[in-house]
């Protein structure tokens, strides 16, 4: 099981966090500080895994962003590495380019996509197309709903006047 997902910039700034196990706010801050200290200082050729507090953290760098996932000690690190890559590919496919990722990652789309990939710390959907389709469906529906509510609320507003 994946305990949490972290996205940290090269400067140590947090871009996205998702916690599947229970961590208090204080613990979260501590975890982020500790891990960014460990991961950001690691050399480029070392392995993408770090053993940390009895758990394992798998990380991978894309452009200036570090994607980190924390897993149980008996997990398959290479698999997690691919789940990270899977996520990045979906993000890439959805947003068009990873270069923009740093600025876009903070938006909630990244969370929605992550929610389609992982659920309660397990890989939910291995098919890229399915994920993109699901997120697109949400988008289109959201758009139509928005229009409707927009028009309804104006009608109501007019009626109530």
Partner 1 sequence: MGSQGGFYQSKEFLDLVKSIGEARSKAEEDRIVLHEIDTLKRRISEPDIPKRKMKEYIIRLVYIEMLGHDASFGYIHAVKMTHDDSLLVKRTGYLAVTLFLNEDHDLIILIVNTIQKDLKSDNYLVVCAALNAVCKLINEETIPAVLPQVVELLAHPKEAVRKKAIMALHRFYQKSPSSVSHLISNFRKRLCDNDPGVMGATLCPLFDLITLDVNSYKDLVNSFVSILKQVAERRLSKAYDYHQMPAPFIQIKLLKILALLGSGDKQASENMYTVLGDIFRKCDSSSNIGNAVFYECICCVSSIYPNPRLLDSAADVISRFLKSDSHNLKYMGIDALGRLIKISPEIAEQHQLAVIDCLEDPDDTLKRKTFELLYKMTKSTNVDVIVDRMIDYMISINDNHYKTEIASRCVELAEQFAPSNQWFIQTMNKVFEHAGDLVNIKVAHNLMRLIAEGFGEDDDNADSKLRSSAVESYLRILGEPNLPSVFLQVICWVLGEYGTADGMFSASDITGKLCDVAEAYSSDETVKAYAVTALMKTYAFEIAAGRKVDMLPECQSLMEELLASHSTDLQQRAYELQAVIGLDAHAVEGIMPSDASCEDIEVDKGLSFLNGYIQEAIEKGAQPYISENERSGVLNMGNFRNQDHHEPSHGLRFEAYELPKPVVQSRIPQALLPSTEIVPVPEPMYPRETYQTPVPSNSSSAGSAELKLRLDGVQKKWGRPTYTPETSTSSSTSQKTVNGAAQVEGATTLNSTRETYASRKPQVEISHEKQKLAASLFGGSSKLEKRPATGHKVSKASSHVVEKSHVPKSSKEVASEKTAPAQPPPDLLDLGEPTDTSTVPSLDPFRQLEGLLDTTQVASAANGATAASRSPDVTALYADTPPVGIHNMGDADLLSGLSNPSVTNMPGATAKPQLTQSSGKGPNPKDSLEKDALVRQMDMCGQRDCHINMIQPYGIGGGLKIQERAETLVLCSI
Which is nearest to 65 in space by CA: 89, 31, 40?
A: 40
Please identify which residue in 63, 79, 99, 156 interacts with partner 1, judged by CB under 8 A: 79
Q: Which residue has the tokens 């947090």?
A: 14
* Contact call for residue 18 and partner 1 (CB under 8 A): yes
Tokens of 124: 């939910």
Please identify which residue in 40, 61, 64, 77 interacts with partner 1, judged by CB under 8 A: 77
Give phi and psi for 75, each to the nearest 5. Answer: -75, 170
Residue 43's region, left for phi above 0, alpha for psi from -120 to 50, else beta, is beta
Residues that bind partner 1 (CB under 8 A): 13-14, 16-20, 22-25, 28-29, 32, 43, 45-54, 76-79, 81-83, 85-86, 93-96, 103-104, 106-109, 111-112, 115, 119-120, 122-130, 132, 134, 136-139, 141-143, 145-146, 149
């Amino acid at each position: 099981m994946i305990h949490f997902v972290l996205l940290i910039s090269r400067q140590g700034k947090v871009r996205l966090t998702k916690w599947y196990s229970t961590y208090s706010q204080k613990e979260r801050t501590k975890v982020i500080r500790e891990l960014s200290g460990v991961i950001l200082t690691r050399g480029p050729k070392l392995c993408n895994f770090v053993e940390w507090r009895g758990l394992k953290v798998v990380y991978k760098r894309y452009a200036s962003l570090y994607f980190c996932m924390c897993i149980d000690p008996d997990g398959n690190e290479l698999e997690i590495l691919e789940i990270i890559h899977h996520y990045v590919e979906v993000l890439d496919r959805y947003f068009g380019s990873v270069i923009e990722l740093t600025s876009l990652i903070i938006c909630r789309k990244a969370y929605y996509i992550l929610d389609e990939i992982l659920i309660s710390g397990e890989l939910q959907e291995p098919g890229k197309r399915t994920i993109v389709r699901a997120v697109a469906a949400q988008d289109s529906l959201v758009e139509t709903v928005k229009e409707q509510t927009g028009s309804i609320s104006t009608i109501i507003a007019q009626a109530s006047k």
